[in-house]
Amino acid sequence: MNKRVELVRRTEANGISIEAVVTDEGDLLVIGREDLVPEERAQGHHEEEYWLRVPAAAKDAALLALLENFFGNSVTAVADLRAVLLANGVPCELFSH
């Protein structure tokens, strides 16, 4: 199981990286890092790092909030979510009768 995904890749143009990680304890961490431009470093500023932690016990609520936010009011929500899951190698089963 993949426990880390890159959300934003650091480039020379943006200097920002953001990744999501599921810890061994089951917490969800979204970690951001920002490089500073040379002028800021020359002034004594340092790279910034910040993170958002969702405790393992709240991950289901976070998942439901994300699903509602991104797929709410969409008549193709099931097909769209299935496509995302399959494209990312996440097992799922579609049932119909």
Provide the CA 26 distance to its chain's centre, in angstroms.
15
Domain match, 46 and 69 both: no
Domain match, 46 and 1 both: yes
pLDDT score recorded for residue 85: 96
Domain assignment of residue 95, yes or no: no
Domain match, 47 and 61 both: no
Number of domains in the chain: 2
Domain match, 29 and 64 both: no
Per-residue pLDDT of 5-61, as tens digits, reads: 999 998 877 789 999 999 999 999 999 999 876 666 667 666 889 999 999 999 999
CA distances (Å), 13 to each of 9, 55, 61, in order? Answer: 11, 33, 35
Q: Which pTM does this prediction carry?
A: 0.79
Domain assignment of residue 71, yes or no: yes
Domain match, 4 and 46 both: yes
pLDDT score recorded for residue 11: 80
Domain match, 44 and 68 both: no
pLDDT score recorded for residue 75: 98
Per-residue pLDDT of 45-81, as tens digits, reads: 668 899 999 999 999 999 999 999 999 999 999 999 9
Which range marks the domain in which residue 74 is found? 57-88
Do residues 94 and 81 touch, judged by C-beta distance below 8 A? no
